[in-house]
Amino acid sequence: MEFLYLIGGLVLLILGGDYLVKGASGLALKFDVSPMLVGITVVALGTSAPELLVSVSAALKGKSDIAVGNVVGSNIANIGLILGITAMIFPIAFRKRTLSFDFAVMMAASVLFYFVGLTGHITRFHGVVFLVLLITYIVFSYVREYRLATPESESVDLDPTVKQKPLSLLAVFVVIGSVALVFGAGWLVEGAEVIARNFGVSDRVIAITLVAFGTSVPELAASVIAAFRGEKDISLGNLIGSNLFNILAVLGITSLIKPIDVADQIMTVDIWWLLATSFAILPIGITGMRIGRRGGALLFGAYALYIYVVFGGGAVIEGVYRSIMTNFT
């Protein structure tokens, strides 16, 4: 039954996120909200909805390791697994604005999460700070894109027919998507918890691997499809935006609802993989403003090594790694 809950939860999260994005973006466009603003708010939040609902559900059940591990694992998977696979299929070019602005903001959010995590808790005050920073980023992004006013900046990854659907149908999409996300998150957390108990692994391990991969499936599908279509910069922009929203929106909203603890193991092991994989984009991009197949293979290999260490196969590596990080911190 736990695997049925897990699979059912994943399916509901994927469908729920898709319907929510279609319905909410369609309603926004109906009321003449610019596609640019829809892209950096509704779509970005919609793609982070699975992570948000899973983290909130886990926090309310007292499962802080799942709530935080889901975000950390999802961000590592976005860069190492998803971006790695996508780049191996089709090399991804950088836009200079993405590298100079969005990447910098994502890294700043990651470093901020590191320092907050050192306290051992993400409190409601931290949640307020995260959300204020998120709102500031959205407003600044909108003003910045509006001033640039290029055809490229007006393009967002939306269904072109969504605006033509009737208001009632779009409202139904929002309701269906929201309900599916709520039930999907609950089933996913419940299934993951039972699996962790049955196999004798920690909530953290399940969260940063199985749960994180499940909530990142929509990004994986979207990025691979974009790569096959030759839309080279959509994948990178979506993943950077997803990582940013995971930290500021998911952890911000979750901690406002219920303050969450940050496990020592996340701060001594996982956070360094998160920072390392994120920073790895910078030199890869600077060397030619694109991530080629070799770069993608490097990112994928780093993710595979991380999973190997997490599941205990790399006990020696993890021991050396922990020793170095303990001395460093």
**pLDDT digit string (tens) for 10-47?**
777 777 777 776 777 777 777 766 655 665 566 666 66
Closest CA to 317 of 273, 263, 277: 273
User: What share of the chain has pLDDT > 90, as a percent?
Assistant: 13
Distance CA 277, CA 284 (A): 11
Tell me the average pLDDT across 257-286.
Answer: 83
- For the chain, list the domains and their CATH numbers: 2-328 (1.20.1420.30)
Distance CA 94, CA 307 (A): 27
DSSP string, 79-127: IIIIIHHHHHHS-EEPPHHIIIIIHHHHHHHHHHHHHHHTTTEE-HHHH
Instruction: Give residue 177's pLDDT.
Output: 78
**pLDDT digit string (tens) for 103-124?**
788 889 999 999 999 999 999 9
| Residue 129 scores a pLDDT above 90 | yes
| Residue 280 scores a pLDDT above 60 | yes
Instruction: Give residue 153's pLDDT.
Output: 43
Residue 323's pLDDT band (cuts 50, 70, 90): low
Residue with tokens 């699975």: 50
| Residue 251 scores a pLDDT above 50 | yes
Instruction: Give residue 146's pLDDT.
Output: 65
Mean pLDDT of the chain: 76
| Residue 90 scores a pLDDT above 90 | no
**pLDDT digit string (tens) for 153-212?**
444 455 556 667 787 887 888 788 777 877 776 777 677 777 777 777 777 888 888 778
| Residue 273 scores a pLDDT above 80 | yes
Closest CA to 163 of 22, 259, 291, 2: 22
